[in-house]
Structure 1
Amino acid sequence: MSRVHRIPAALILAGATVLGATGIAQAQPAIPPALAGLLDSGSAALGSSAEAPAPDAPRLASVPNFRDVAGTGAGYAGDRGAHLNKGVFYRSDALVPNDADLATLEGLKLSEVIDLRTDQEVADKADRLPAGVKYTRVPILSGNINDMVAKIKSPEDARNMMRQMNVAFATGDAERAAFKTELTDLANASGPSVFHCTAGKDRTGWTAMLLQSIAGVDDATIIQDYLLTNEYNKDWAAKTRAYIASTQGEQVALLFEPLLGVESSYLQSGLDAVKTNYGSIDKYLTDGVGLSADTIAKLKAKLLR
């Protein structure tokens, strides 16, 4: 494998933590118009609720893609118009907070953190967690990342790599088994939980989609939420791209640019594979992932208010 391919492969796996260690502050993201109304804590765009929603997830300068699966404001709308519970499930990039952000995490009273990264990713940058939080490893990675990256000869090859990864989330035996373990742990957690990978966009994005689907969030909102990674991670992506360009050249940066964010076709490829192989997300969760009806019910009860 050429040196040109090795360095970006390492950046895709560890870049979020390497750049996060610099302490670069992240700007407040520009939320897509379809979700902009959710930022209004008055929740006028989503209707009223008999129960006041929990506070929005804090913005963490050193963990930029930390956010609530339930969204902001009143929370995303789910089954029968009920809104998702905030402060229950958080999604994130690698949890390597600075001191101020660690103190903020302590205030969330987390019960468990589920780390979806590989052994090498964890070795490169281990999580830094509040005292007393249960730490669980559920490694998920579709295929050999170095072999996959080595085959990239065009930006479209990079996009296809991401699409194929999401297809494997839907069809791969090891991936489905890992998602079963992760979702079962989330269902049985005693309090607020975080699940994360390195950049918080692919393995984490698939998990968030599954939870939102269980809660009955509509497809358009799920896709828009998935795409928010591009806003939350935009400073990290820009710094990573600049590093690749400065060390490997602009052409290499263009080649790997699609790996630094998400596109709707990435997630949609996995969803299409779910439909082809199982017919629906519900069937995927039961027949593919192997979740029990009891586990799904626990998750739904936690997700909705």
Structure 2
Amino acid sequence: MKTHSKRQVRCHQWLTLLLLQTALSIPLSLQAAENSTTPREEIMQKQDSHSNVHSSTIHFQKVDNFRDVAGNLQPYQNNRGETLQQGRLYRANALLLSPEEAEKLASLNITHIYDLRTPGEIALHPDSEIPGATWHNINLLGWDDIEPVRVGFTQKPEITIAGAEEIYLNFVNDPITRAQIGTLLTSIAQNEGNQLFHCSGGKDRTGWVSALLQYIAGVPQEIIIADFLASNDYSRDSITQSFNKMANEKGVAAAIAFSPFLGVQDDWLLMAFAEAEKNYGSVDNYLLEGLAITPETKAQLREKLLMP
């Protein structure tokens, strides 16, 4: 049986207590919070030293996890002191926009949108049409639908965490997923203009792709992790709404069981990077051998990601 780190358990305890406080109007337990730092506090501490992690310059009502891969208020810098170029690559959750918001997004001159969701997810919540942008579906997981997996995540938190871990390991191990990630990165490298990629919550599939792009740009690991974890903060309100909706429809026990998958944990991202290093010797070899990202394609991506 898989064991889970103290950090994972702490993250799940924090999220569950937060959601229960909102859903049931009970105070947070001081005992559970004692001698621990919540993921949100860790994010905010990183924001103090990297002030751009959660300062979006554009907001949408339902697309709350929209942000610039290069950083929002101030652009990230890489390990060589080079500055990432803002306004070129964006990440988001599902594009459920009002007509006015669709025009606002179009004002960013986005030419290509990559929807990483399954056909089932798209049928349930299709993207709003963005004027001037070409829409592509690159089904990152290769599944018909993710809903059967989500149903399985309503049993126990341990099952949910193990299932989430499996998804992140599949980013490295599943040949269909690897091929789709490779197609996505190659398309981003070769297509012109500003581009956007997204999944449903903008945190797992989108989070892994964003982390890879930042890795290719040479962004320090601590900033990649902080940016990944920022999904918990950007999506704070929608996480609470999703928990309450599930609690009302399926019961509080099911909502608590599912709650780890409403956010993200840094262990999941680190596990995927570690799996890439274990199986390919390095993340660079994973990009080359696992995703078929050639040195030329990496150079094209760096050109898009970095200031000239």
> For residues 55-66 of structure 1, what are the structure 2 equivalents within 5 Å?
57-66=57-66
Moved over 3 A (4+): 36-41, 142-153
> For residues 165-176 of structure 1, what are the structure 2 equivalents within 5 Å?
165-176=167-178
Post-superposition offset of 1:149 = 4.2
Change (3 A) 1:57 1:91: farther
Query: What percent of counterpart residues are identical?
Result: 33
Q: Which amino acid aligns with 1:210?
A: L
> Contact 1:66–1:93 (CA<8 Å) still a contact in 2?
yes
1:304 alignment partner, one of 300, 303, 306: 306
1:240 lines up with 2:228 in the alignment: no
Q: Deviations over 1:251-288 (max 9, x none)?
A: 11111101111011111221121111012211110011
Post-superposition offset of 1:80 = 1.1
Post-superposition offset of 1:147 = 4.8
Q: Which amino acid aligns with 1:35?
A: Q
User: What is aligned with 2:121?
Assistant: 121
Q: Which amino acid aligns with 1:173?
A: P
**TM-score in terms of structure 1 length:** 0.81
Change (3 A) 1:57 1:283: farther
Unaligned runs of 5+ in 1: 1-28, 42-54
Q: Deviations over 1:181-233 (max 9, x none)?
A: 10011111211100000110111001000000000011111111000000111
Name the SS for the 2:114 alignment partner: strand
Name the SS for the 1:126 alignment partner: coil
CA distance in 2, matches of 1:149, 1:302: 35
User: What is aligned with 1:200?
Assistant: 202
Name the SS for the 1:32 alignment partner: helix
> Contact 2:118–2:142 (CA<8 Å) still a contact in 1?
no
CA distance in 2, matches of 1:151, 1:120: 16
Q: Which amino acid aligns with 1:300?
A: R
CA distance in 1, matches of 2:151, 2:60: 33
Count of aligned pairs between the two proteins: 264
User: What is aligned with 1:255?
Assistant: 257
User: What is aligned with 2:47?
Assistant: 35
CA distance in 1, matches of 2:199, 2:88: 18
2:272 alignment partner, one of 247, 253, 270: 270
User: What is aligned with 1:100?
Assistant: 100
> Contact 2:52–2:75 (CA<8 Å) still a contact in 1?
no
Post-superposition offset of 1:164 = 0.8
Q: Deviations over 1:110-142 (max 9, x none)?
A: 110001011111111211132221111100127
Q: Deviations over 1:17-61 (max 9, x none)?
A: xxxxxxxxxxxx9962212354479xxxxxxxxxxxxx9641222
Unaligned runs of 5+ in 2: 1-39
Q: Which amino acid aligns with 1:32?
A: M
User: What is aligned with 1:184?
Assistant: 186
Q: Which amino acid aligns with 1:227?
A: L
> Contact 1:164–1:269 (CA<8 Å) still a contact in 2?
no
Name the SS for the 2:110 alignment partner: coil
> For residues 47-86 of structure 1, what are the structure 2 equivalents within 5 Å?
57-86=57-86
Post-superposition offset of 1:151 = 4.6
Cα RMSD for the two superposed structures = 2.1
CA distance in 2, matches of 1:198, 1:291: 25
